[in-house]
Amino acid sequence: MTTTNETKTWIITGASSGLGLALAEAALAAGEHVIGTARRADRFDGLRARYGDRFLAVEHDVRDTGGAAAVVQRALEVFGRVDVLVNNAGAGQVGTAEEITDAALRAMLEQHLLGPAAYVRAVLPHLRERGSGAIVQMSSQGGRMSFPAVGSYSAGKFALEGWSEALAGEVAPFGIRVLIVEPSRFRTAFNAADVLHTARQSSVYDEVVGAVRANMAEADGVQEGDPARAARVIRDVLDAPDAPLRLPLGAEAVRNLTRVYRAALDDVGKWASVSGSADFPNMPPAVRAF
């Protein structure tokens, strides 16, 4: 298939549901091209039926980092270009540090850091050659704050955000933009019983995290965030010349992250003199390359 210079092509991982599906629908409705990945390609039957050859379904598990390059190559073969990579695929997980196994923790890192990193490495040569493009990293408000029973999930998202902040500085000189999206709760399957991973529970922690476990499950179907509206916001921000590096998405994310940032700044100020006392006396300020 040949494309015009004006037709954008998106790669969206985890595009069969939730925010990934909403972004795919928005791009396709705008006449753009989408390569969507999911663990089961048959979940894309509806998109294929509605949008035909403007949508390409690829079966891929983001934890298979060796397969990311093939997905990018397929996109270039079919559509001739990639304009936006959206690293969206992932899943939630509930469990205390003592309840989460090595395998469960590793799965969070594979889905939320290693998988996205593989896609970024695969697409960057193309974006650099073209001198333009965008990488959207779907994080979470849990990528800047955490609370009991979601530590393993936040570990993956915190890692993604730190990695992506460095990435943004590395690729900006090549005309490539990085946008880290930090949603609060949206009306997706994230909290559904068959989607949200839950560790084997220890009764020792019932009083500590029982309310968190219940709240995570009870949120399914009543989340305040609208995925379709979120997709429109993300598209608009990508087109903004003054787009931020991080985009809290949803009013709850704005409230929570404002509170977290203010508390962190208060702590830095309160303990500044103690922190500074660890330096050698009378040393000039450090000079760094950043």
Cα separation of 10 and 79, whole Å?
10
**262 three-class SS:** helix
- Look at the pTM and tell me if it is higher than 0.85: yes
- How many percent of the chain have pLDDT more than 90? 76
Task: Encode pLDDT of 125-157 as tens digits.
Answer: 999 999 999 999 999 999 999 988 899 999 999
178 in Cβ contact with 134 (< 8 Å): yes
| Residues with a known catalytic role | 139, 153, 157
Enumerate the β-bridge partners of residue 87.
137
pLDDT of residue 105: 96
Enumerate the β-bridge partners of residue 34.
10, 55
| Cα atoms in the Cβ-side hemisphere of radius 13 Å centred on 266 | 6
Reported as a pLDDT band with limits 50, 70 and 90, residue 218 is low
Nearest to 197 by CA among 286, 94, 100: 94
- pLDDT of 225 strictly over 60: yes
Task: Encode pLDDT of 39-92 as tens digits.
Answer: 999 899 999 999 999 999 999 999 999 999 999 999 999 999 999 999 999 888
